């Protein structure tokens, strides 16, 4: 364990920032000048450094490539009115990251590595953080096995890295979502609640199939009956019925405990909406829609922020929504943006200044 984190920093000689228009870059395609790297070996964290962003040298027998011991997080930092940069709820991501690490039989990352490494990295590359609304600096911490050996067992060595990427909106228009009832994302007792790479790999086939039909993503259902909705591929999901906002329960361990999900529930509760976390069936959604009670469906995630859903398809039944008339999702988005960009007082202490 590194008692007092000392980070060796090697800055680039010339920034690549001048080569990009960071207000107009696609999500996840361009990365800042530096990255943070820490190594775990011999049962302890042994080094930490910030160095120029560069390719990794990976042995063909790398354990993560063969057995999938790899987890990650998604976090964002936002430009503040005074020109500084603040990270949104990084300690919540830190705790969730280590929940994933425990489930995947990986070492927990100490707070001084995760948080302080992130802070110093962003401080060095903060000029990369965009200034426009709906833009942010996306933060990707990840941990992977780094043993060079083939054999089904937990690795003894691990590499923790943080990279940064300037980004605009993930989705630029209301979405079309297909309710998936053939393929399964997660089952009770599995790793659905962990932010592990394999969850996303397993989802790609069904998602690609839906995208060929013109849909953006799939809404996953439970593994046994395919009756209960769970989450959308890149975000948690919310349903608005009157003054009540419903979202699937986390109790079965099949759904990611989204930080944006928690934030949405908090701000909507403060606005006077009733929040329900419970199992929700597709049949309920259809009944509410037919009765005119289901008025809004939206997703919430770090990358996606809050994304409105204009169409939800289950088998041959299509639910369509006029997103221009919505009140709840826009109100939640505006409330979160006001906090993230420092336009209102941060009474929840969600912002962490760099």
CA distances to 84, 94, 346 from 31, rounded to whole Å, are 19, 21, 29
Q: Which CATH code is given to the segment(s) 8-168?
A: 3.30.470.10
Structure tokens at 19: 């080569």
Confidence of residue 1 (pLDDT cuts 50, 70, 90): very low
Confidence of residue 25 (pLDDT cuts 50, 70, 90): confident
Mode of pairing for the β-strands spanning 136-145 and 75-79: antiparallel
Confidence of residue 172 (pLDDT cuts 50, 70, 90): confident
pLDDT at residue 210 tops 80: yes
pLDDT at residue 168 tops 90: no
pLDDT at residue 4 tops 70: no
Helix 90-103 to helix 259-270 angle, to the nearest 10 degrees? 140
| pTM reported for the whole predicted model | 0.95
Helix (H) or strand (E) holding 179: strand 175-179
Torsion of the alpha carbons at 47, 50, 53 and 56, rounded to the nearest 10:
0
Helix (H, G, I), strand (E, B) or coil at 16: coil
> Rounded to whole angstroms, how far apart are CA atoms 241 and 289?
9
Give the per-residue pLDDT at 132: 85
Confidence of residue 65 (pLDDT cuts 50, 70, 90): very high
Count other Cβ atoms within 10 Å, centred on residue 272.
7
Give the per-residue pLDDT at 12: 97
More confident residue, 139 or 171: 139
Using one digit for the tens of pLDDT, what is the confidence trace for 333-351? Answer: 999 999 999 999 999 999 9
> Rounded to whole angstroms, how far apart are CA atoms 158 and 179?
37
Q: Are 351 and 87 in contact (CB under 8 A)?
A: yes
Q: Are 36 and 118 in contact (CB under 8 A)?
A: yes
Using one digit for the tens of pLDDT, what is the confidence trace for 269-316? Answer: 999 999 999 999 999 999 999 999 999 999 999 987 899 999 999 999
Count other Cβ atoms within 10 Å, centred on residue 233.
22
List the beta bridge partners of residue 313. Answer: 178, 318
Give the per-residue pLDDT at 2: 44
Quickly tell me which residue has 């934030």 as its tokens.
263
pLDDT at residue 235 tops 80: yes
Using one digit for the tens of pLDDT, what is the confidence trace for 91-143? Answer: 999 999 999 999 999 999 999 999 999 999 999 999 999 998 889 999 999 99
Whether the domain at 8-168 and the domain at 175-340 fall into the same CATH topology? no
Exposure class string for 217-232: b at 16+ Cβ within 10 A, else e:
bbbbbbbeebebbbbb
Query: pLDDT over 90 for what percent of the chain?
Result: 91
Using one digit for the tens of pLDDT, what is the confidence trace for 220-232? Answer: 999 999 999 999 9
pLDDT at residue 28 tops 90: no
248-261 average pLDDT score: 97
Domain ranges of the chain: 8-168, 175-340
Quickly tell me which residue has 């997080």 as its tokens.
73
Second CATH level (architecture) for the domain 175-340? Alpha-Beta Barrel (3.20)
């Amino acid at each position: 364990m590194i008692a007092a984190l000392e980070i060796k920093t090697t800055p680039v000689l010339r920034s690549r920032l001048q080569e990009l228009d960071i207000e107009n870059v696609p999500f996840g395609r361009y990365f800042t000048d530096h990255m943070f790297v820490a190594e775990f070996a011999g049962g302890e964290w042994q080094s930490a450094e910030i160095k120029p962003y560069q390719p990794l040298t990976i042995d063909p027998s790398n354990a993560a490539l063969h057995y999938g011991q790899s987890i990650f997080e998604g976090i964002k930092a936002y430009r503040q009115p005074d020109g500084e940069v603040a990270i949104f709820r990084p300690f919540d991501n830190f705790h969730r990251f280590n929940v994933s690490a425990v489930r995947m039989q990986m070492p927990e990352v100490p707070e001084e590595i995760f948080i302080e490494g992130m802070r110093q990295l962003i401080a060095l590359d903060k000029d990369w953080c965009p200034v426009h609304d709906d833009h942010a600096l996306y933060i990707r911490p990840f941990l992977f096995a780094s043993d060079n050996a083939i054999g089904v067992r937990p690795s003894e060595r691990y590499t923790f890295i943080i990279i940064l990427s300037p980004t605009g909106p993930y989705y630029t228009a209301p979405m079309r979502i297909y309710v998936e009832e053939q393929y399964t994302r997660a089952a009770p007792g599995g790793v659905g609640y962990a932010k592990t790479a394999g969850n996303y790999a397993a989802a790609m086939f069904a998602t690609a199939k839906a995208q060929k039909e013109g849909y953006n993503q799939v809404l996953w259902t439970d593994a046994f009956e395919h009756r209960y909705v769970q989450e959308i591929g890149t975000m948690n999901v919310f349903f608005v019925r009157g003054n009540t906002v419903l979202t699937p329960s986390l109790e079965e361990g099949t759904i990611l405990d989204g930080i944006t999900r928690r934030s949405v529930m908090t701000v909507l509760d403060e606005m006077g909406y009733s929040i329900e976390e419970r199992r929700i069936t597709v049949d309920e959604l259809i009944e509410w829609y037919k009765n005119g009670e289901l008025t809004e469906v939206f997703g919430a995630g770090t990358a996606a922020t809050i994304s409105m859903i204009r169409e939800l398809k289950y088998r041959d039944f299509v639910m369509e929504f006029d997103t221009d008339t919505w009140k709840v999702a826009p109100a939640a988005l505006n409330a979160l943006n006001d906090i993230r960009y420092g336009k209102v007082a941060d009474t929840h202490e969600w912002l962490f200044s760099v």
